[in-house]
Amino acid sequence: MSTIWYRPKTIKESKTMKKIIHIDMDGVLVDLGKAFDKFFTLYPHLRERYKKFPDHIQGVFRSPPPMDGAIEAVHKLHESGKYELFIATTVPWGNPMGASDKRFWIEDHFGNLFHKKMFMTHRKDLLIGDYLIDDRVKNGAAEFRGELLQFGVNWETGETNRFPDWNSILEYLL
Ligand SMILES: [Mg+2]
């Protein structure tokens, strides 16, 4: 469990010296696929309109269900006292309302745990931290300078990633 990222002394260290974990939302904390399925079941006449970019559906990020074990696992990481946790999520450029939806989702499920600790970015490579838990390598995740813990199933290739579920993440980090 080595830390690859080097922090120059000029960058202020975290007050607590805890290791920093950035956590992606869709496909990691959030089961967005289920929200898409629900939407297309409720509104089959809109399937054509959104089938190419379902992440442009207005409001789709507001109340999707969490991934299995995600909420409990994040609490365990937090309670371990070893880590400072941040959200690192990309809001589709074509769905700007998604930013407030995601912000509300985090509060609904975690209360104040991520209070003022959310990065919304298309450049995860620019984040400073020790770990990034992400299901994909897009939006700079592959170039993240800490350790990328690739999570779940890669929906583009159908392959299972190194960390298939939250239990495997907890085993590695706790
Ligand atoms: Mg994702």
pLDDT in tens, the chain (174 residues): 555 555 555 445 555 689 999 999 999 999 999 999 999 999 999 999 999 999 999 999 999 999 999 999 999 999 999 999 999 999 999 999 999 999 999 999 999 999 999 999 999 999 999 999 999 999 999 999 999 999 998 766 778 999 999 999 999 999
What's the CA gap between 145 and 50, in Å, rounded? 34
Following CA atoms 37, 118, 97, 44 in sequence, which dihedral angle do they give, to the nearest 10 degrees?
Answer: 0
pLDDT digits (tens, 9 = 90+) for 152-162: 987 667 789 99
Question: Residue 16's pLDDT is what?
Answer: 63
What is the CA(125)–ligand 1 centre distance, in A? 14
Residues 130, 139: Cα–Cα separation, whole Å: 17
Cα 81 to ligand 1 centre (Å) = 25
What's the pLDDT at 27? 95
Sorted by where each begins, the domain ranges of the chain are: 11-31+66-173
Q: Which residues pair with 88 in a beta bridge?
A: 119
Phi, psi of 88 (to 5 degrees): -130, 100
| 11-31+66-173 placed in CATH 3.40.50.800 | no
What pLDDT is recorded for position 17?
A: 85
| Residues catalogued as catalytic | 24, 26
Q: How far is the CA of 61 from the centre of ligand 1 (A)?
A: 12
CA of 2 to the centre of ligand 1 (A): 24
Gap between the Cα atoms of 141 and 138, Å rounded: 6
Q: pTM to 2 decimals?
A: 0.90
Q: For position 14, what pLDDT does the model report?
A: 52
User: Helix, strand, or coil here: 22?
Assistant: strand
Torsion of CA 152, 154, 160, 164, to 10 degrees: -10
